[in-house]
Structure 1
Amino acid sequence: MCFVLLLLGIIFIGYFCGIIFFTGHAGSFSFVWLFLGIGAFIMCILLKKKIWHDRIPFWFRRFFIVLVCLGGILFLVVEGCIVSGFSKKGPSGLDYLVVLGAQIKAGGPSRALQYRLDEAAGYLVENPDTKVIVSGGQGADEPVSEAQGMHDYLVEKGIAPERILMEDQSRNTFQNLVFSAELLDKEADSVGVVSNNFHVFRAEKIARKAGYQNVCGIAAKGEPFLQYNNMMREFFGVLKDFLAGNM
């Protein structure tokens, strides 16, 4: 067991360092991997020195093990739901696409957002009657609103500007979908919600909760190296929105 914990600690901290190398910085959520790694090392030391069995009360050890098992089961169930959205593409001939925003950088959309926009652009080329709503406000570190950056990117990809509607006030997924609903008829129009694969399950559930009657998810790919980090973060996102009544 100690060897397994030691190995997990090395993997978790190594992944945290890899995120820094890949992105050039450590986002606030990525520190969860550092904390998990440190926790695994601490648990290894407690077992190695027999502190866990000799000095930790029995009731606490039992409670901790039960808590970890229940947390593991919950994690697997939620992650299974998240993975269920990976292959969704939506039918042809939708009335609208809603592309959910992500970070805009000085040079244009982030890679994750480019994947969403490329997926949307491909669909729009194949379905010339479909319109698209690009949804996202402007963060403190963004040069323009996410909606504006997405609009410009799609125009460069050859999508006619008159097919693109902008929603530039939202700050999160729930607001993306609620505010975008004001630009269409959510009870009558068929809508495809475009996001990265790990985000599609939650986005579709939120859309249904927001009153979209004919909605489906459309999954764009995610960044391969960051997929584990994104899926871990999405686990907490699903719990947050479920507890908040957004899905």
Structure 2
Amino acid sequence: MLENVAEFFKLLLIPGSATFFVLGLILAVLLLFSGRRAAKWGRRWLLFLAVLGYLLSTPLVASSLQRGISLGYSPLDTEVIDTEVEAVVVLGGGGATFRLGSDEVNMLSEQSVLRLLEGLRLYRALSPEWVIVSGGPNARAGVSTPESETMGTLLIELGIPPERILIERQSKNTHDQAVNIPPLLARHAVERFVLVTSPTHMRRADLSFRAESTQHLTSTAPAMSETTTPLGWSPFPSSEALETSRDVFRELVGLLYYFLRGWI
């Protein structure tokens, strides 16, 4: 039941999403044409939607939300680390499978690639024995091949020897990863590792792994590529800012759901 409610919110009611605003507009129209008293509330609701839409689409607000949810987390400073780590664990951040007949192409999302690049930085700086990539298939998102396999292939192309890469193919969400990765670590005698994921996702990932009593450090991947113009702090709306705000609210729903399930 709780899972269905969470999925309903994620699909339809995340502030900043298209469905949220469409459903909000439908409600406003219904109120506007439902009598004088209801019309008054309809106008208020419409004003609220307009103000909310403006705020969430401004880089100023989006950057503040992103900074707030990732407060306390940052890229690991490899110059001051005072302990040895045996592995770098990179969590998948989504992808896509494109198929036509017998031909298939698998691609990673921007967040997955940025996480891999952070994992590569740590590998070069710390020389851990293992780099572990995690992420399974996701039929609902159109990913038929485990994203971890695509991640592993890219790591090899980036210069990491295949014998240093471990692939966790089963996990469909962060909780699965927190449950499935520790046994993999134990089989390879890994006691301490660095956990890599996106800034907005790190808090839920960190708390999920700590709930499984793992010993790890954290390192956030870049929020965006250096080839992309930063969000900045402009008060003028942009589609990129609205997407960032939506992602933060989706993560807040995820944190609440994980808390209610006792996973963090």
TM-score by length of 1: 0.68
Tell me whether 1:97 sits opposite 2:88 in the alignment: yes
Compute the displacement of 1:88 (Å).
4.5
Check whether the contact 1:138–1:145 (CA below 8 A) recurs between aligned residues: yes
Work out the CA distance in 2 between the residues paired with 1:36 and 1:90. Answer: 45
Partner residue, 1:87? 74
Partner residue, 2:217? 216
> Alpha carbon RMSD of aligned pairs, Å?
3.3
Query: 1:55-204 counterparts in 2 under 5 A?
Result: 82-89=69-76, 92=81, 93-105=84-96, 106-140=105-139, 141-185=142-186, 189-204=191-206
Deviates more, 1:34-43 or 1:167-176: 34-43
Work out the CA distance in 1 between the residues paired with 2:164 and 2:107. Answer: 20
Compute the displacement of 1:83 (Å).
2.4
Deviates more, 1:193-202 or 1:140-149: 140-149
Work out the CA distance in 1 between the residues paired with 2:210 and 2:30. Answer: 43
Partner residue, 2:52? none
Work out the CA distance in 2 between the residues paired with 1:143 and 1:169. Answer: 12
Question: C-alpha deviations, 1:114-158, integer Å up to 9, x for none?
Answer: 011111111111122342111111122224211111100111111
Check whether the contact 2:133–2:166 (CA below 8 A) recurs between aligned residues: yes
Deviates more, 1:83-92 or 1:114-123: 83-92
Percent identical across equivalent pairs?
27
Work out the CA distance in 1 between the residues paired with 2:152 and 2:209. Answer: 22
Number of equivalent positions: 196
Work out the CA distance in 2 between the residues paired with 1:101 and 1:159. Answer: 17
Compute the displacement of 1:85 (Å).
4.7
Partner residue, 1:10? none
Work out the CA distance in 1 between the residues paired with 2:177 and 2:161. Answer: 22
CA separation of 1:33/1:166 partners in 2, compared to 1, >3 Å: closer, same or farther?
Answer: same
Check whether the contact 1:81–1:201 (CA below 8 A) recurs between aligned residues: no
Check whether the contact 1:136–1:146 (CA below 8 A) recurs between aligned residues: yes
Any stretches of 5+ residues in structure 1 without a counterpart? 1-26, 55-77
TM-score by length of 2: 0.64
Deviates more, 1:30-39 or 1:236-245: 30-39
The 4+ residue runs of structure 1 with deviation greater than 3 A are 39-46, 49-54, 78-81, 90-93, 185-188
Work out the CA distance in 2 between the residues paired with 1:236 and 1:43. Answer: 27
Compute the displacement of 1:31 (Å).
3.7
- Which residue type is aligned with residue 88 of structure 2? L
Question: C-alpha deviations, 1:195-224, integer Å up to 9, x for none?
Answer: 111000110000000121x22221112356
CA separation of 1:90/1:138 partners in 2, compared to 1, >3 Å: closer, same or farther?
Answer: farther
